Structure 1
Amino acid sequence: MNILQIAWKNIRKNPAASILGILLTAFGTGILCVLLVASKQIEQQLTSNSQGIDLVVGAKGSPIQLMLSSIYHIDNPTGNISYREARALAANRLVKLAVPLSLGDNYQGHRIIGTDSSFLQLYDLELEKGRLWQSDFETVVGAAVARNYHLQLGDQLYGAHGLSKEGSTHGHPYTIVGILQSAKNVADQLVLTNLASVWHTHEDAHGDSGDEDPENEPEHAPAAGQGLPDNQPPHLVKNMLEGFGSGGREITSLLIQYSNPSAIAILPRLVNQSTSMQAASPALESARLFSLLGIGIDSIEVLAYVIMVMAALSVFISLYSALKRRKYDLAIMRTLGASQGKLFGIVIAEGILLTFTGALVGLVIGHLAFFLISIRTDDAATLLQASTLYPQEIWLLATGVLIGLLAAALPAIKAYNTSISKTLSGTQ
C-alpha cells in the first residue's frame, strides 16, 4: 500500500475533522475564486465596452454616472442636453466621430437606445439577420436580447417607460428589422432604433406634437463637412449630423472619438468651461471606478485569507490530534520495516490531500456561485461568463497545497522522530 492510499485511509478514519478542514479550505478558495474571476471580467468589460470612445458628453452631474449610463448602461442618466449644442460640438475640428444617444425606455430591462448608424461603426457591429432601420419605430436588437426572448425579424415589441422593466408600457410597438451578431459586449444587451422614434414615443406620451419654432433653429446650420477635418469621410459627417435638426430637441449624451491627439487636452476643457454640458473621459473614470471597486475586493480578499488561515489551523489540529492517537500504529509500522521518511511522507500527504481537495471543491463552488450571479445580472450590461477559466486559478490550487504542507509540517516531524522503544513501552 503506497503513501497516498495510507494517507487517504487515515483521513477517512477521522471524518468530522477532515470535513471541517476541507470545508474551510473550500470556502476560502471559493471566495478568492469569485474575486479573481469577477475582477478579471469586470476589468475586461470596462476595457471592451469603452474601447474606441475617447469622451462622453452629457448633462452636468457625476462623471462616473454619465459614463455608466452612456457606455455601460447600468445607471440613470445625469439628464438631457440640447441637440443644438450637440450639433455644434459634433462639427468641431477636434471631433472625428460623434454618436448621439437618447435614453429613456426599456424592453424587459434591456435599454432602448435612440441613435444613428454610427453606433454600429463605433462598436464594430455586424448584422446577423435583416437590415438597419430605415423608418421610425423600426429596431435592431442585440444578440442576447434576441436569444433570451426568441425574437425574430418582423416581431413587434413594446417599450416600457423608464429604465426598469416595471415601467408603464408605451402604446406604439417597434418592429424588428435586424438582429446583431454577438459582439460579447454591451451591444448584445441593447435595443437600437433611430432618434426620431424615441422622440415621437415621448411626444405621444406627453401629448406634444413635436413641432418646433423655426425661430429656435440655429442661424447657420452646419453643412456636411463644415468645421471638420479635411480627411473626414463623407459618410461619417452624415452620421454625425444625422437627425441634428430642431434646436428644441434633446438627447442624453454623445460618444466622441478624437480626430487628433491634441483634442485630449483641449476638448474636455472646452466642453466643461464653455458649454452647459460636461465631458467625462472613459479611461480616467474607468480607472477611478475600478480603484473604488478594488477597495471592496481587497476587504473581501482579506476575509478569504483569514478563512484559509483557519483552515490551516484546523488541518494542523486534526493531524496533531490524530498523531497522538496513532503513535502505536506508527511504532508498529516502524517495526515492520517502514522508514522514518515514509512516516513523514504519510502525514505530509494527509495535509496536502485535505487542503488540495478543499481547494478543488472551492474552485467548483466559486464558479457555481459566479454562475448564479451571472443569472441574476443577465439583463445588465456587464456580461459574466462563469465557465471561463483563468491561469491564475492554478495558483489557488498551489496555495491549498502550500497550506496543507505547512499545517502538516510539525506533525510530520514528530512522526519522523517517533521512537519505537519508547512508544511501545509507554514512556513516550
Structure 2
Amino acid sequence: MTLWITLRNLRVRGWATFLTVLAVALATATALVVPLVSKQVERGAADAAQVFDLLITAKGSPTQAVLSSLFYLDEPIGNIPYATYQKLADDKRTLRAVPLGFGDNYHGLPMVGTNARFFEQRLKPTLPPYFHVESGRLFAGPLEVVIGQAAARQTGLKLGDQFRSAHGSEEHAGAEEEEHAAEYKVVGILAATGGPVDRAIVTDIQNLWEVHGQFTPESRGVTAVLYTAAKLGDLYSVSSQMNATPSAQAVFPGQVFANVRSFVLQGQAAYAALSVLVLLLAALTIWLSVYAASLDRARSVALLRALGAGRSTVFGVVLLETAVTVLLGLLLGVGLSYGVSVLGGQLLGGRLGFALPAPVLDWALLFRVAALFPLGVLAALPPAFGAARQSPVAQL
C-alpha cells in the first residue's frame, strides 16, 4: 500500500520528481568524473611508458624529458653529444641503447629518428617486440619511414606515398614552417599499441642528421636514449654515472609518474572537498524539493488521514518518496559519470597521444557518492514528521 501510494505521488508530481532526480544525478556525476578521468590518465600513461626502462637526456626537468621524449607532448630539453650515446652503446653493461632524434614534423605529427633496435624493445624478455609492422616493412634505405596507425588515419598516407617534412616540432607547426627538400617514402605501417608511437612517423636517425646537414659525428646530437641494461644492478650504476656527467641525466619514467601522481592526488584531495560541498548542496536541493512537495501534497495527505491512514503510513510515504528519488538520482549519476568519463577519456586520449583505459568505478568512489543517500533521507525527516502530525480537518 505504502509503495503504491509513493509511486503514484511521484508520477503525479513528475516534473518536480525529475528535477530532484536530475539535481542528485548531477551532484553524483560531479563527484565522480574528475577522479575517474584522473585515474584513466594515470593508468594510460603508465601503460604507454612501461616498455621503457631508463631515459637519458640532456640536463633539465625530468618531467619535461619524459613528456617530450616518450609522449611527444613538450619541447625537447636539448641534445646530448653523439659521443655520449656511442659510449653507452659500446658499454659492456648495455643490453640495448636506442637513440632518439626530434626536430621535424609532418602536418603536426612528430618525426622520430631512431634505429632498428627501437623495434627490439619488449615489455618482458619472453614477450614479442612491442613495436612491429602490421603492413609493409621496416625502414632500411635512405629516407624511408614507418608510420603509426593514428598518423596514417590523420594524414591519409599509404604504403608507397612520399612527403616532405617540415622543420620544427609539432608544438610549433604552422603555416610558416619550412619544408625540407628531401622526400620521405612510407614503407610500413605499425600495429596499434595505444601509445604515443601510434601518432608518430619513425625513420632512421641517420636521415634526420643528413636532412639537417649533420654529416660528421662531431656535428651530430641525440635528443634522448632509451636504455636497457643487461642486469638490473647495471641500470642503477649507469644512471648514477650519467647523472654525474655535466651533459646528461638519467630519468626513470616510473619515478616521474610517482612524482606527478603525488601532485594529482593533492588536486584530487582538494576536489574531494569540493565534491562534499556539492553533495551538501544536493542534499539541500532535496530538502527544498521535499518541503515543496509536502506543501503540494497537503490535501492528499489529509485525504489519506481521513480515509484512515495512520501517522506511520503518512510518515513512511514521505520518507519512501525521498528514498526512491535519491536512489534514482544516484543511479543516474553513476551512469552519467561513467558515460562522460568514457567520452572524455577518448577525447583526452586523442589529445595526449595515448589510449586511455576504460574508467573503473571502485568501491572507494561509490562509497563517496553513496553518502548522499542517508543525507537525502535525513533531509526528508522534518517534512515527514510534519506531514504525519498534520491535521486532516484543516485541509478538507
TM-score (norm 2): 0.85
Unaligned runs of 5+ in 1: 204-209, 213-245
1:267-278 pair list within 5 angstroms: 267-278=238-249
Q: Which amino acid aligns with 1:3?
A: L
TM-fit CA distance, 1:142:
0.9
Tell me if structure 2 keeps the 8 A contact 1:351–1:408: yes
Equivalent position amino acid for 1:43 in 2: E
| Cα distance, 1:332–1:8 mapped onto 2, change above 3 Å | closer
Q: C-alpha separation between the residues in 2 aligned to 1:419 and 1:278?
A: 73
- In 1, are the aligned partners of 2:39 and 2:359 still within 8 Å (CA)? no
Does the Cα contact within 8 Å between 1:58 and 1:81 map onto a contact in 2?
yes
Identity %: 28
Question: d(CA) in 2 for partners of 1:138 and 1:258?
Answer: 29
Contact 2:194 2:354 in 1 (8 A): no
The corresponding residue for 1:186 is 196
CA change 1:301–1:30 in 2 (3 A) is: same
* DSSP-derived class of the 2:352 partner: coil
Report the counterpart of residue 126 of structure 2 in structure 1: none
Write the distance in 2 (CA, Å) between the matches of 1:5 and 1:122: 66
Alignment of structure 1 residues 58-97 onto 2, 5 Å? 58-97=57-96
Contact 1:33/1:393, CA 8 A, preserved across alignment: no
1:5-404 equivalent positions in 2, closer than 5 A: 6-7=6-7, 9-10=9-10, 13=13, 15=15, 18=17, 20-122=19-121, 124-164=130-170, 165-166=173-174, 167-203=177-213, 210-212=214-216, 246-336=217-307, 338=309, 342-362=313-333, 363-364=335-336, 367-368=339-340, 371=343, 374-375=346-347, 378-384=350-356, 388-392=358-362, 396=366, 402-404=371-373
CA contact (8 A) 1:20 1:314 kept: no
Deviations 1:252-293 (A, max 9, x none): 000111221222432222111135211111121111112122
Q: Is the 8 A contact 2:145 2:185 kept in 1?
A: yes
Q: How many pairs are equivalent?
A: 383
Give 3-state SS (helix, strand or coil) of 1:134's partner.
coil
Report the alpha carbon displacement of residue 324 of structure 1 after superposing the two structures with TM. 4.0
Residues 189 and 411 of structure 1, relative CA distance in 2, 3 Å threshold: same
In structure 2, the residue corresponding to 1:173 is in which secondary structure?
A: strand
What TM-score results when the alignment is normalised by the length of structure 1?
A: 0.79
Residue 55 of structure 1, CA deviation:
1.4
Partner AA of 1:106 in structure 2: N
State the match for 1:241 in structure 2: none
CA contact (8 A) 2:315 2:384 kept: yes
Closer, same or farther: CA 357–276 of 1 in aligned 2, 3 Å: same
Aligned-partner Cα distance in 2 for 1:58–1:310:
49
User: How has the CA–CA distance of structure 1 residues 128 and 343 changed in structure 2, closer, same or farther, with 3 Å as cutoff?
Assistant: farther
Instruction: After TM superposition, give the deviation of residue 405 of structure 1 in Å.
Output: 3.9
Distance 1:351 1:44 in 2: 38
Structure 1 residue 5: deviation in Å?
7.0
